[in-house]
Amino acid sequence: MIHSDRGSEYTSTQFQNRIRELGLRRNCGRTGSRFDNAAAESFWALLKEEIGTRTWPDRATARAEVFNFIETFYNRRRLRKHKIFGSLTPAETRQRQQHALAA
């Protein structure tokens, strides 16, 4: 899934064809709604801050580093404020929500 705004570079035929070639799907925020893109923008900003914008030797290495960031830091160590549960990682938040639903 590729999420973008409706900028001309993302709505071009060339970009859309490339997305199809890669077997991906495109998702766009609504025109004029800054909130549609907020979560994605926040994630990409944090990813760039944490692992940088360097060039990797190959795609497999890049994928492994991004996966490692998401699984070891973003989901398991990064604390976020939850209005009911307090400061938890996303993984802990999901566990508590599932437990609360089962109860």
In the chain, pLDDT over 90 holds for what percent of residues?
Answer: 10
Whether 82 is in a domain gets the answer: yes
Whether 102 is in a domain gets the answer: yes
**Mean predicted confidence (pLDDT) in 5-28:** 81
Whether 65 is in a domain gets the answer: yes
Residue range(s) defining the domain that contains residue 90: 55-103
SS3 8: helix
CA distance 46 to 38: 12
**Mean predicted confidence (pLDDT) in 78-95:** 72
Whether 74 is in a domain gets the answer: yes
Whether 25 is in a domain gets the answer: no
Angle between helix 59-68 and helix 38-51 axes, rounded to 10 deg: 110
Examine the pLDDT at 50 and tell me if it is beyond 90: no
Answer with the residue of higher pLDDT: 30 or 20. Answer: 20
Total structural domains within the chain: 1
Examine the pLDDT at 73 and tell me if it is beyond 70: yes
- The model carries a pTM of 0.51
